[in-house]
Amino acid sequence: MTAATRPLRRPDELANAGLAPAAERAALERVAQRYAVAITPALAELIVPGDAADPIAAQFVPTAAELDVRSNEAGDPIGDDAHSPVPGLVHRYPDRVLLKPVHICAVYCRFCFRREMVGPGKRKTLSPRQLAAALDYIRARPDIWEVILTGGDPLVLAPRKLRAIVQALAAIDHVQVVRVHTRLPVADPAKITPGLVRAMQASPKATYVVLHANHPRELSAAVRAACARIVDAGIPMLSQSVLLRGVNDDPTTLAALMRAFVESRIKPYYLHHADMAPGTGHFRTSIAEGQALMRALQGSHSGLCQPQYVLDIPGGHGKAPIGPTYLAETDASGGYRVTDFRGHAHRYDGRSPRKRLPR
Ligand code: SF4
């Protein structure tokens, strides 16, 4: 086994690094022909070679299970295309749009919901003309209050290009918030340079960075330092994670992940139920399992550690919070049963006091 000095992209490189069994090479070649593969040296270092259950390897090292595509899976599982009026832009909700300037990432996650769209040889990075058209679309719609830069990973852009996008958005009066979704601080923390951070600061509008991480071991000292460079620059951070079987589907790991975020000054935001992307069935839990995990988290950990558990409804219908719920109506006049953090039920009289009319 040799330590990687550049991203591992081919099954033979993974085998040489001791991260994939040589016997599976033919199957992994088939996987790699369909879906992009890249594991940065920083992430390769976190993997325990030979541990078949390693939660970092599970997220990034391809497996033959990805060749098993189920009938309920789809290439565009959350329906981006149905809401894409111009290339690289998704307008699903009234007050915000996704802007996808790049379709490449520093690493490729095996459960990615855009796996048919990202990676070398997939959709191209937006051309200057396409980017201009996307900005024109935003400019022409005063209801767009927030622009979410996603992709791909927008932070793989050169700081000069990122700055130009951030400044173009800042110049649109009605855009008040820019949100950057990224995995780069985890994939390659050294790439969170002062220049990249300054590019995000190039707007007087509110800028947020949402970090994607799924296991507490991803929040290494180097990753925490990279996030501190962002937060110290005055850019608040939020987290998003995907609930993944074999990675974070137990209460201890999920709680440790949320605490790692909070300790790094990153507020847990979303826990996504895994999307129906092709070849990802081995990662998906049931919704009941997800709700039980959320209940355990709520029962034992600080409110700061609570993300919202959400499902992206297939077909492009948007996100829905999927519980668990703690309140049930028991009668039409305002009676409720509410469950406390220990799981004990209590009655609650929720009738609104009627105002006395003056005599
Ligand atoms: S970084 Fe995001 S877009 Fe890129 S492969 Fe991972 S989940 Fe997909």
Confirm if 4 and 41 have CB atoms less than 8 A apart: yes
Q: From the candidates 92, 100, 115, 163, which is the catalytic residue?
A: 92
For ligand 1, whether the C-beta of 108 sits within 6 Å is yes
Q: Which of 119-123, 163-167, 199-203, 297-301 has the lowest mean pLDDT?
A: 119-123
Answer whether residue 154 shows pLDDT above 70: yes
pLDDT reported for residue 151? 86
pLDDT reported for residue 3? 67
d(CA 72, CA 299): 33
Residue with tokens 């992307």: 277
Mean of per-residue pLDDT scores for the chain: 95
CA nearest neighbour of 152 among 180, 173, 186 = 180
Read off the amino acid at residue 253. Answer: T
The kind and range of the H/E element at 196 are helix 194-200
In the structure, what pLDDT confidence band is assigned to residue 353 with cuts at 50, 70 and 90? confident
Q: Mean of the pLDDT values across residues 219-232?
A: 98
CA nearest neighbour of 237 among 275, 255, 263, 257 = 263
pLDDT in tens, 14-70: 999 999 988 888 999 999 999 999 999 999 999 998 898 999 999 999 999 999 999
> Which atom of ligand 1 is the closest one to the Cα of 111?
7
Answer yes or no: 92 catalytic: yes
pLDDT in tens, 297-334: 998 999 999 999 999 999 999 999 999 999 999 998 89
Parallel/antiparallel/unpaired status of strands 177-182 and 237-243? unpaired
Q: Mean of the pLDDT values across residues 201-226?
A: 97
pLDDT reported for residue 49? 85
For ligand 1, whether the C-beta of 105 sits within 6 Å is yes
Answer whether residue 355 shows pLDDT above 90: no
Q: Which of 15-19, 119-123, 223-227 has the lowest mean pLDDT?
A: 119-123
For ligand 1, whether the C-beta of 153 sits within 6 Å is yes
pLDDT reported for residue 141? 98
Q: From the candidates 76, 112, 153, 208, which is the catalytic residue?
A: 112
Answer whether residue 266 shows pLDDT above 70: yes
d(CA 344, CA 338): 8
> Which atom of ligand 1 is the closest one to the Cα of 183?
1
pLDDT reported for residue 357? 64
Six-digit token string for 268: 């847990």
pLDDT reported for residue 238? 98
Answer yes or no: 305 catalytic: no
Answer whether residue 268 shows pLDDT above 90: yes
d(CA 134, CA 87): 7
For ligand 1, whether the C-beta of 183 sits within 6 Å is yes
R_g (Cα) of the chain, nearest Å: 22
Answer yes or no: 114 catalytic: yes
Answer yes or no: 227 catalytic: no
Ligand 1 center to 182 CA (angstroms): 8
Answer whether residue 1 shows pLDDT above 60: no
Q: Mean of the pLDDT values across residues 71-92?
A: 94
Q: Mean of the pLDDT values across residues 229-249?
A: 98
Residue 336 is given by DSSP the state E
Ligand 1 center to 181 CA (angstroms): 10
Answer whether residue 356 shows pLDDT above 70: no
Phi, psi of 239 (to 5 degrees): -120, 155
